[in-house]
Amino acid sequence: MSTPDRHISIFLIILLIAGFILFLIWAGRQASTPGSRISDRAYYRKGLEYTHTQAEKQTAVSQGWQLRTEVSPQQLRFTLMDADKQPVAKASGELTLYLSAQKKVLHLPAIEIDAGHYRFDLPQIVTGSLPVRVEFALQGARISRQLLINF
């Protein structure tokens, strides 16, 4: 003969198993999706190099690096100077554009047009208000800025 307590316990066990199966299905689905579309592919590499990057930034600060920005249609210009207002030449530069509307991240190299003067030519798809990150590095020193640019 079955008691009401036995029916309730069987029902609770079945409910627990069903909940566990639903959780497994949800977890499998989450694991199979690519995740956030706007992310930095080099996230872990940058995390591992955090101490080195901080040392580079401190070197740039100690050298008094200053960065001036000019915005023109389809072009960004930067002037990189040291503490004595002398141009910092032959630095490697990179501009990272976060295009949320197109779900893209663009990395553009700097073009040195004169000693300490760098230019980035922007593609035609760049319009509106965009977050950008610019970095310049030279001989163990690095300066980076995050900007919000309106085109």
Asked if pLDDT for residue 1 goes beyond 60, the answer is no
Is the same domain home to 21 and 54?
no
Closest-CA residue to 120 (of 97, 139, 90): 97
Cα(100)–Cα(86) distance, integer angstroms: 37
The residue segments making up the domain with residue 140 are 43-150
pTM of the predicted protein model: 0.59
Domain membership of residue 38 (yes or no) is no
Domain of residue 78, CATH code: 2.60.40
What is the chain written as a DSSP string? ---HHHHHHHHHHHHHHHHHHHHHHHHHHHHHS---SS--TTHHHHHHTHHHHHHHHHHHHHTT-EEEEEEETTEEEEEEE-TTS-B--S-EEEEEEEETTTTEEEEEE-EEEETTEEEEEPPTT--SEEEEEEEEEETTEEEEEEEEEE-
The mean pLDDT value for 54-63 works out to 62
Question: How many angstroms separate the Cα of 7 from the Cα of each of 2, 4, 15, 17, 20?
Answer: 7, 5, 12, 16, 20
Is the same domain home to 58 and 110?
yes
Is the same domain home to 18 and 80?
no
Is the same domain home to 57 and 4?
no
Is the same domain home to 48 and 28?
no
Q: What is the pLDDT of residue 77?
A: 92
Cα(69)–Cα(147) distance, integer angstroms: 10
The residue with greater pLDDT, 35 or 9, is: 9
Is the same domain home to 132 and 98?
yes
Is the same domain home to 49 and 13?
no
Domain count, the chain: 2
The residue with greater pLDDT, 24 or 64, is: 24
Q: What is the pLDDT of residue 25?
A: 95
Residue 148: pLDDT band (50, 70, 90) is: confident
Is the same domain home to 47 and 72?
yes
Domain membership of residue 105 (yes or no) is yes
Is the same domain home to 52 and 120?
yes
Question: Residue 144: what are its φ and ψ, rounded to 5°?
Answer: -140, 145
Domain membership of residue 62 (yes or no) is yes
Asked if pLDDT for residue 143 goes beyond 90, the answer is no
Is the same domain home to 13 and 57?
no
Domain membership of residue 56 (yes or no) is yes
Cα(54)–Cα(19) distance, integer angstroms: 47
